[in-house]
Amino acid sequence: MPSAASGYAAHSAQTPLAPFSFERRDPGPRDVAIDILFCGVCHSDLHTARSEWDGTLFPCVPGHEIVGRVTAVGGEVADLSPGDTVGVGCMVDSCRTCASCRDGEEQYCEGTGFVGTYNGDDPVMGGHTLGGYSDRIVVDRDFVLRVRHDEADLAAVAPLLCAGITTYSPLRHWKVGPGHKVGVVGLGGLGHMGVKIARAMGAEVVAFTTSPGKRDDALRLGAHDVVVSKDAEQMAAQANSFDFILNTVAASHDLDRFMRLLKRDGTMTLVGVPATPHPSPAIGELVFRRRQLAGSLIGGIAETQEMLDFCREYGLTADVEVIAPDRINEAFDRMERGDVKYRFVIDMAPLRAG
Ligand code: NAP
Ligand code: ZN
Ligand code: ZN
């Protein structure tokens, strides 16, 4: 018997999110039922709710930066109990048998593809999955993370479930550490976590922003230097000096201006997924210094747990502005304008209060 849940949904790309009632499955033997305490607001939520990418299924309940409390577990779940604090990120299932799943890289599942926390095909209930802008969720144990941060930090932990892992994973994959000069482009939800994590990994970190007003914040977040990317002179001073650049920008822009900043053999990894394509990169910028342009998608489940534990060890959380659920449309508009420092997080308490 499914049971009632409530949240906020977009019913079309043109209409604001509105209160929405729906059903969650009862926990099966491998499931964990979770009361959602906080859910971060990722730019991907906005891209999806407004159908900026193809394929949004309506009604759409976004949200994949979930921190909550376990309320019940299925009979085969031995290592979680009611009362435990847990997280759920961008995925709630995958095929588990393909090469990527076996490697712990479920985000690249080439069997069925991973099941998104929202806008995925719901393997149990049918229809499509509904995400974390809601009071509760039921998720397979294998896709539930343990949260070990202090209780007072939980709102600021929620963004780690997407913004944290999406920046941690490429920084690890490209082996960023002491002796590396690393650029982080775009100081939004992802970028501000990228700065904190790259600094904790021991790299020299330079933040690139289009917003001169974010300069002091970038230094406070851990950047050694800040470059206003619209300033040609400041950009030229950084030419050929970076080992790695993490580009989190949510809009189409000229990539060559950043490719030029890489050393020979340097890599720029794109994690931003703009609604319209970037202008084609100049091939000369790549071939003459054997530079690489790459992409990266969130991170695997085991790596997400590793990231959460790394952030706890280094005292890292997101800088957040906590909002009530009924302020979500205002938050989307402000995120679109770049007016967020540096992640909105929805406190779900008003939803549970009815
Ligand atoms: P966000 O909080 O809105 O931050 C994006 C930042 O990009 C802005 O704060 C701004 O920083 C910069 N920016 C925005 N528009 C720009 C423009 N026209 N020109 C130059 N810079 C601009 O978004 P987010 O949540 O961090 O997400 C960033 C992107 O990553 C989105 O496209 C999202 O869908 C994608 N994403 C990808 C993955 C993945 O797995 N690959 C996971 C999560 C999100 P400044 O003010 O500092 O310039
Ligand atoms: Zn996200
Ligand atoms: Zn798979």
Task: Report pLDDT digits (tens) over 150-197.
Answer: 999 999 999 999 999 999 999 999 999 999 999 999 999 999 999 999
Tell me, using a 6 A CB cutoff, whether residue 320 lines ligand 1.
Answer: no
331 vs 345: CA distance, rounded Å: 9
pLDDT > 80? residue 354: no
77 vs 30: CA distance, rounded Å: 6
Percent of the chain at pLDDT exceeding 90: 97
Tell me, using a 6 A CB cutoff, whether residue 214 lines ligand 1.
Answer: yes
218-233 residue pLDDT tens? 999 999 999 999 999 9
317 vs 197: CA distance, rounded Å: 10
Average of per-residue pLDDT values in the chain: 97
Report yes or no: 193 and 169 within 8 Å, Cβ to Cβ: no
CATH 3.90.180.10 in the chain is located at 3-162+318-352
3-state secondary structure of 181: strand
DSSP, residue by residue, 242-292: EEEEEE--SS---SHHHHTTEEEEEEEEE----SSPPPPPPHHHHHTTT-E
Tell me, using a 6 A CB cutoff, whether residue 166 lines ligand 1.
Answer: yes
pLDDT > 80? residue 292: yes
Tell me, using a 6 A CB cutoff, whether residue 238 lines ligand 1.
Answer: no
**Which class for 122: exposed (0-12), middle (13-18), buried (19 or more C-beta within 10 A)?**
middle
The number of the ligand nearest the C-alpha atom of 99 reads: 3
Q: What separation in Å is there between the alpha carbon of 170 and the centre of ligand 1?
A: 16
| Probe target for ligand 1 pocket from 54, 109, 185, 210, with the most ligand atoms within 8 Å of CB | 210
Q: In which band, very low, low, confident or very high, does the pLDDT at 2 lie, cut at 50, 70 and 90? A: confident
pLDDT on residue 353: 81
pLDDT on residue 86: 98
107-141 residue pLDDT tens? 999 999 999 999 999 999 999 999 999 999 999 99
Q: Beta-strand (E) ranges in 52-150?
A: 66-73, 85-88, 91-93, 115-116, 136-140, 145-146
Q: Kindly state the DSSP code that residue 27 receives in the 8-state scheme.
A: P
Percent of the chain at pLDDT exceeding 70: 100
pLDDT > 80? residue 1: no
Q: What are phi and psi of 330, to 5 degrees?
A: -65, -40
State the CATH class of domain 163-295. alpha beta
Structure tokens at 266: 């340097």
310-324 residue pLDDT tens? 999 999 999 999 999
Pairing of β 91-93 and β 204-209: unpaired
Tell me, using a 6 A CB cutoff, whether residue 211 lines ligand 1.
Answer: yes
Which of the listed CATH numbers 3.40.50.180, 3.30.1330.10, 3.90.180.10, 3.20.20.220 matches domain 3-162+318-352? 3.90.180.10
CATH 3.40.50.720 in the chain is located at 163-295
Report yes or no: 230 and 254 within 8 Å, Cβ to Cβ: no
pLDDT > 90? residue 352: no
Report yes or no: 95 and 111 within 8 Å, Cβ to Cβ: yes
3-state secondary structure of 63: coil
pLDDT on residue 110: 97
